[in-house]
Amino acid sequence: MLIGVSGLNLLVRSENTIADIPIIKIRPNKAQPRKVFSEDELSALSRSISENGILQPLTVRKVSSTEYELVAGERRLRAAVMAGLRKVPCIVVKCSDRESAVYALLENLQRADLGIFEEARGIAKLIRRYGLTQEQAAIKLGKTQSTIANKLRLLRLSEEEQEWMEKAGLSERHARALIRIENETVRREVLSRIITENLNVKQSERLVGIYLNSTPKPSRVKGNSKAVIKDIRIFLNTINRAIDTMRLSGINAQSNKTDTEDFIEYTIRIPKSTLYSPDKSA
């Protein structure tokens, strides 16, 4: 029997039957792109396995006389462990390291809940490990080369920025808007505002545009070497970004802006209890 998956062929002998393999003999796939698994989903799947067993066998490949590598089915394997199973039904396939990595990525790409950065990191790892071009990776994964390139661009965001976005549940379109900002410090300030103000994609794109357009362009006055900055919004944005940064750091800063006839007044309140702990020895 020949299983074809986006240019990947896994050969399974037709005379083979599903084998029950001890879980202790199955090692995880190093190319597994998924790093985060929902505990609620695993618990639900574990209960289902306890009631009905594993309906869809795992896919493994033999790597030694006593060990198998998981090709597809890590969620089922983890849920089986939670259910207390010692053996799981498996289909043993013949495939190379590269085919195993592609298949593991494909299985996860077919699931809508794979994180945008998990997907991008998985593609990057596949390209790096096996020396593929973006075009070759696109063919293997059944995508266009431009789609692969766009997903890889997301990795321009730092690991910390990626973590913030994942925790906030932001989308790929949020990320694409952010990578337009090359300066990492400015980008983080924009990201903090997107998160604290719970901005949607269009609002985020508009905010990014404002930051990009408000970058001061110095003009020189004859006899004066200092840059002249006329737009007061630049300074107000700096204040807002500073407050957002404090909030992200756990400091419950509160601000109030008042427009009067002659002035713009800012009042900022920072609870001392969030800045330091009282000295008990005093």
Please identify every residue annotated as catalytic: 74
What pairing do the DSSP bridges indicate for beta strands 264-269 and 254-259?
antiparallel
How many whole angstroms from its chain centre is CA 257? 36
Name 11's Cβ contacts closer than 8 Å, sequence gap at least 6. 2, 3, 93, 94, 95
Structure tokens that stand for 200 in this block: 């949607």
Task: Give Cα separations from 45 to 50, 74, 83, 112, 210 (angstroms).
Answer: 9, 12, 9, 17, 46
Asked if 269 and 252 count as a contact pair (C-beta separation under 8 A), the reply is no
Asked if 119 and 33 count as a contact pair (C-beta separation under 8 A), the reply is yes
How many whole angstroms from its chain centre is CA 55? 30
